[in-house]
Amino acid sequence: MNNHLHKTSSTKSLPGRQASIAVLPFVNMSAEPGNEYFSDGITEEIINALTKVQGLKVIARTSSFAFKNKNIDVPTIGRQLDMT
C-alpha cells in the first residue's frame, strides 16, 4: 500500500479529548468466500497506516473486528468502543 500518511501528520480534536478512529472491517462482496482475506487485509493496512498519524488514537484491530458481520449502527459502535 502506498503510504500517503507521514509521521509528521497530526490531528486536532476537541479540548480534553484525543481524536480517535475505528476502522471497521470491510465486507467481502464477491461471490468467493475465499476472498475474505483480501477485505480483512485492506482493513488491517488502513489501521496500520493510521497508527502513524500523531495525535490520533486508532482502535485496535481486535476491537474493530469484534463488529465484523454484525448489524450495529455507528453511534452504538462508538459508545461500545468508548469513542463518544
The domains of the chain are located at: 19-80
Q: Rounded to two decimals, what is the model's pTM?
A: 0.76
pLDDT at 1: 44
pLDDT at 16: 67
**How would you label 17-39 residue by residue, b for 16+ Cβ within 10 Å and e otherwise?**
eeebebbebbebeeeeeeeeeeb
pLDDT at 17: 72
pLDDT at 18: 83
Residues of the chain with pLDDT under 70: 1-16, 84
